[in-house]
Amino acid sequence: MPLDSIAVQSLCANDRQERAIDRFQPSRLRGADDFAETCDAVNILLVEDEPEVALTLFEMLEELGCRCAARHTADEAFAVVRSRSIDLALIDVNLGSGVDGLTLARGLQTTFGIRTIFITGNASPDLKAQVEHLNAALLEKPIYLDALRTALNSMGLSKRV
């Protein structure tokens, strides 16, 4: 089930709150100065199998002024890129069962020319070599806003965040 069509559960104090991830929509930018950037936003495909991590990254991307489509699996990710213009993919290396993030990224790059920033909790030397071979970037969890901004801007996009 696509991440944008489910509610992500989180516990806040003693109350359960549901947060739904918006469909692929322009970011809700904060501040009038940033409003004009909405039309020129970077379109990001986020692929993360852990709902809480996906929600956090989605909110960070939104804060940076990006438009984001979030999905759990490779199949869902390919469905997005077939129907929308994507500038960059942010992909977890370990997507649980099914196709892993490296395989997904190779397919996106070969078929659609989409570059990738990988996210992982375990950056081994072998993984770093594979990421370098794909001409991609790598962020280690936990991911902070400044590191995400730097990685996005290092990818050579004509649009900046």
Write the CATH number for 121. Answer: 3.40.50.2300
- How many domains does the chain contain in total? 1
Domain hosting 140: range is: 3-154
In this structure, is residue 85 part of a structural domain?
Answer: yes
In this structure, is residue 161 part of a structural domain?
Answer: no
Using the predicted structure, report yes or no on whether residue 4 has a pLDDT greater than 80: no
Separation between Cα atoms, residue 126 and residue 61, nearest integer Å: 28
**Residue indicated by tokens 């992909």:** 91
50 pLDDT band (50/70/90 cuts)? very high
DSSP 84-149: S--SEEEEES--SSSS-HHHHHHHHHHHH--EEEEEES---HHHHHHHHHTT-EEEESSP-HHHHH
Express each pLDDT in 71-127 by its tens digit.
999 999 999 999 999 999 999 999 988 899 999 999 999 999 999 999 999 899 999
3-state class (DSSP) for residue 17: strand
pLDDT at residue 125, rounded to an integer: 94
In this structure, is residue 160 part of a structural domain?
Answer: no
In this structure, is residue 159 part of a structural domain?
Answer: no
In this structure, is residue 23 part of a structural domain?
Answer: yes
pLDDT at residue 1, rounded to an integer: 41
